[in-house]
Amino acid sequence: MSFITIFLIALVAVEHIYFLILEMFLWTKPKGIKAFGLKSKEFAKETKVLAANQGLYNGFLAAGLIFSIIQKDIEMAIFFLICVTIAGIYGAYSTKKIKLFYVQSIPAVLALISCYF
């Protein structure tokens, strides 16, 4: 793996660690409510368990990407980057927030492209 590939994979992993923190620990706090454009603090409290579950999945994506760097396993990295890309596409589609695509999928696609050079 080249330095740029490792850097881009690590960037995507760090993003997902940040998503984990937002969804698992900051969902009902002002930062989490603002980051996700939630309707109200009450709505955040009602959906806290679902958000924590999402955060856990983001943590698994980050763990897989970090493990792929440690193992220098490009195939594993490609698998997790494809998962991240699909999650970003679906997230943008299902929430009607195109920003999700740009924040989640574009870095993963750039990392994927770098895997082939």
Domain range for residue 29?
3-115
Q: Give the pLDDT of residue 94.
A: 94
Confidence category of residue 105, pLDDT binned at 50, 70, 90 = very high
Confidence category of residue 116, pLDDT binned at 50, 70, 90 = very high
Sequence-separated (6 or more) residues with CB below 8 Å from residue 24: 51, 52, 55, 56, 59
CB 27 within 8 A of CB 44: yes
| Number of domains forming the structure of the chain | 1
Q: Is the pTM of this model over 0.85?
A: yes
Confidence category of residue 73, pLDDT binned at 50, 70, 90 = very high
